[in-house]
Structure 1
């Protein structure tokens, strides 16, 4: 076994790809002068592509020069750079057992083993837990034994206390001979809530290929169950016939009856529609297509139906006004009546705002200026309002911070006390979180 020093820097980047690795550098730390532009000739530490490129270069080198690679490495590597304790082994010598990543490797038998030294601990649950934790077994060789010690911490039915899974690699050569190798194993305690055997087997099925509930089985830990060495036609088959389950069986899902009453028969169809969308722009496109379809139904009779498979900007803007008017009727119906009577709203949050009805029928804030310069009033607690804020934050401000998003929002909309809503939108924006966390 060996390690490659500075592995990424040992792999050269092709000439046509080096422009992607440009960087600026001030020579002699003179920051007052213009920086020089350099290009990396080798792969970077921290580059997401570097591991795969280095692994490919290593494999390709072995494919092209593997026949003589071992001898060349032995000649090129100086003795001072070799691992401590390295020694030459002649063909007639007895191969030793070495340690690799905490696992013992028997070179003669080509087998892996785990050495366990049980420390002296008090005969308590805490002492037992300390002994279990001191066993280093990353491949799961000892799981069938260690799991029995873990069972002491639970009291349950013997056949339902734990479940395990083990995976073997089965290779077949050209002559049809099979070789079985242990890959890894895993054992877990069953949940405290009693589970059925089929459900425990389903839990184990989420692991490697061969699995089952933990039982007493006599098998070679290296070769696995004996049937794996046979042809697949000779493997044992489960001829168990599934009987009809009764309602008392714990695996039968109980039916749940839900009774619902529609308390709002006159709910607007558009409100049902926008609950199906997670984007403000997609919602507007959906409404625009519905309006296009309705116009087509009307125009089909007199031959004036619209042709084309693309929406016009005018149609999307008309859809926006339709949705905003629906939102206005849902939250500000009483305020609309007051403003139509040329009176000022004297209650609620609108009493502190200078509001008026715009030419489009929407409530606007900021005096009797043109509709293009006065923002539209929106309710704070509504899903549509949140969709609008998400759209402005993503497309208009490029996932910027709260104050920039608030300024962009006030160009077209006004939401009373909207900072809490903005904070919620920014917290749920994954793109914005990643950008803020970047160095």
Structure 2
């Protein structure tokens, strides 16, 4: 087989070892495949010199496995074994991580014996590059998954299961009761605690951890039946009192750990006993409107968030807030969410105009709001219409002004486009001006229509089919019916 990427993967994949007896040896080949993949060579290109040297050395060791033998049964297992334990070890390095499991038999007399059961290895990801604590956590998750597989396949009754790792950080993660972690760590801790208890996890030093061979590898010459990879660590052959001394379980996770989720608290101060205005909360830091595709979805999420914030502030007596516990949102909550985002849009688009009107000054000379003669009611900039004396709602003649090219304006116009059943520009303008007055509304409406997928399909013109060639009979030149004409005089 040539020393190419195709040849390397073909030979490594041909090794059939479902139980992982040769896991430390094949792990080296997995790491070599990853190095070959990083070079970016094609499938049939020759390996680089340094990689070819490693590959040839590994192939020479592969021939030594022809003399590798294992007993057909677990060594030392007899019907006299009254207590059976499973010990799973996990370890990780920068190259990868793995887990190995051993069976321990405890007869009525003596300390019992151990035998190899199964092992699994994984190479570390290229992207994203995980830290060593995260790789150690991945190794413990792999140990839990290995145990979930073994307990379905082992035909014996296992009374005790022990998990071992040489990472104190992972032990602290599992025993944590006070900290909250980022999703990567929290999801894996949840998977671990779903199948195990924190009392089942023990610490072991690296030199006594056989899973260290899973993350660093072993040459084929050392894979013998008497190696600790197959027999397990020496302390398993003694009583539990002789096992490694365990550190105190009351050690908390360091507050500077990068995997700890930072909590944010909202502190409010109010010198009066008036009701606290929820519209003054800057929820822009908690949710981004750019992540929502429709206006109604943004309103619904915002209303639920404002309700949660309101219920959190209920214990503050001076705010005089009442708790909302209904299973559905109220119209007032939708209205509060709408006013919050329109106010936020105006603060983003018209900061100078709001500042001038607050100080009762004239608008800047270059302001786009000069033709609209706006007013400010301490919450919103509004258009001064001429229908004040009419018997019409206030929003009809005193519309809320919205800035051009803002995400809130775009979402409102898209909502108007959907409510008019994909209507045209004038339909959208008439719909939105019932309450709002966006700047350059027709230009924004045209942009919304151009981006609408259904409108694109409706505007698409049918493709004219290509006409077939003319028939051969129509292109054949016919002989004239009169070939010679004679005139007699």
TM-score (norm 2): 0.36
The structure that has the greater radius of gyration is: 2
Larger relative contact order (Cα-Cα within 8 Å, sequence gap ≥ 6): 2
In terms of fraction of residues, the more helix-rich structure is 2
